[in-house]
Structure 1
Amino acid sequence: MLKHRVKLLKSIKGIGDRTAWQILSELHAEDGKSINSRAQIAHAGLAPRQFQSGSSVNGRPRICKTGNHRLRKALYMPAMSALRFNHQLSEFYHRLLSKGKLKMVALVAVMRKMLVLAIGILNNNAPFDEN
Structure 2
Amino acid sequence: MVSYAGYDVVEAQSGTRIGKTRISKKGNSRIRRVLHMPCLVVIQCGVKKYKDLFDRTYEKHGIKMKSYVAVQKKLLVMIYHLWKKKEEYNADYEKNIQEKEQVISSLSAFEKSKKVVPTN
Same fold (TM over 0.5): yes
- Which residue matches 1:70? 30
In the alignment, the residues of structure 1 paired with residue 61 and residue 12 of structure 2 have an alpha-carbon distance, to the nearest angstrom, of 21
Query: Partner of 1:90 in structure 2?
Result: 51
Question: 1:80 is matched by which residue type in structure 2?
Answer: L
**Does 1 or 2 have the higher relative contact order (CA < 8 Å, sep 6+)?**
1
Aligned AA (1:123):
K
C-alpha distance in 2, partners of 1:46/1:74?
Answer: 13
Residue in 1 aligned with 2:11?
50
Pairwise CA distance, 1:101 = 4.5
Which deviations, in whole Å up to 9, do the C-alpha atoms of 1:92-129 show, x marking residues without a partner?
10011122352111110000000000011011111111
Structure 1's consecutive aligned runs of 4 or more residues displaced over 4 angstroms after TM superposition are none
Output aligned runs, 1:1-131, within 5 Å. 40-56=1-17, 58-85=18-45, 86-131=47-92
Task: Note the residue ranges of structure 1 that are not aligned, 5 or more in a row.
Answer: 1-39
Q: CA deviation at 1:48?
A: 1.0
Supply the RMSD in Å over aligned alpha carbons.
Answer: 1.3
Q: In the comparison of the two structures, how many residue pairs are matched?
A: 91
Report the Cα offset of residue 81 of structure 1.
1.0
TM-score (norm 2): 0.70
Letter aligned with residue 5 of structure 2: A
**Sequence identity percentage:** 29
| Deviations 1:41-94, CA, capped at 9 Å, x for gaps | 1010011111223442x1110000111001010111111111112221111100
Q: Which secondary structure state, in structure 2, belongs to the residue aligned with residue 67 of structure 1?
A: coil
Q: Which letter does structure 2 place at the counterpart of 1:93?
A: F
- Looking at structure 2, the residues matched to 105 and 75 of structure 1 have their Cα atoms a distance apart, in angstroms, of 14
One-letter amino acid matched to 1:70: R
Q: Which has more radius of gyration?
A: 2
Return the alpha-carbon distance in structure 2 between the equivalents of residues 101 and 114 of structure 1. 21
